[in-house]
Amino acid sequence: MSCGPRGIVRVLTVVATLLLAGCVTPPETPERAPDQVADLAAALRAMGPGVDQQEAARAAELAYSHTAVLAEEYQITDPPLVHNAKVNMGLRPRGLCWHWAEDMETRLKQEGFATLQVHRAIANSDNPFRIDHSTAILSRRGDPFDKGIVLDPWREGGRLFWAPVAEDTRYNWRARRIVMAEKWERQSAQGVLATSGAAAAR
């Protein structure tokens, strides 16, 4: 490991990671109890009339089984923030919150559900003191994302957390397409300002 400025930063990052790891409990091996799957299926069916019972059962089973698959692929052995640090240092392949959201969305969409719809949402995008957090959401087809159910395996270190969006008060979820459009507008505006400033300087 280099002893230059970058090497020092890397050492400090590793030390901080190890200290953080000592302050939190590492996740246990994810377990998928049958009643958890049944509870999620029931919650999906309860989103309203028109949700197919078999689709709800299949989606619930898939949400849990794919969480386990991804936890193994991501090599989850630590709490979320520690794993994030390892991903950012190149010590793990994936496992940031948006990785979980993206991969869950992709897998759920492969099922081609007729009565369920997959959404993406982002929280904290307008909070300078917190990092953006991403999730996949399942709703009844045609309903807005905020009528759906959050599927978030990141926050509990590879164990599926789910809750109706309205009850997940830890995060202020917003539609991903809106958040990304706002970011693009800000970046475009900054680009215009930077170009104008450079022109004025000349």
Give residues with Cβ within 8 angstroms of 146, minimum separation 6: 165, 166, 173
DSSP state of 28: P
Q: Where are the beta strands (DSSP E) in the chain?
A: 116-123, 133-140, 149-152, 161-164, 174-175
The pLDDT of residue 78 is: 96
Element (H, E) at 14: helix 5-21
Q: Measure CA 19 to chain center.
A: 24
> What digits encode the pLDDT tens for the residues 12-23?
454 454 444 433
Give residues with Cβ within 8 angstroms of 153, minimum separation 6: 67, 70, 71, 100, 104, 159, 160, 161
- C-alpha 131/C-alpha 106 separation (Å) is 23
Contact 92, 68 (CB under 8 A): no
- C-alpha 190/C-alpha 54 separation (Å) is 49
Q: Secondary structure of the chain: what % helix, strand, coil (to 5)?
A: 50, 15, 35
- pTM of the full structure: 0.78
- C-alpha 33/C-alpha 29 separation (Å) is 12
- C-alpha 29/C-alpha 27 separation (Å) is 7
pLDDT tens, the chain, 202 aa long: 333 344 334 434 544 544 444 333 344 444 556 699 999 999 999 999 999 999 999 999 999 999 999 999 999 999 999 999 999 999 999 999 999 999 999 999 999 999 999 999 999 887 777 789 999 999 999 999 999 999 999 999 999 999 999 999 999 999 999 999 988 888 888 775 554 444 444 4
The pLDDT of residue 4 is: 39
Tell me the pairing of strands 161-164 and 174-175.
Answer: unpaired
Rg (the chain; Cα; Å): 20
DSSP state of 147: G
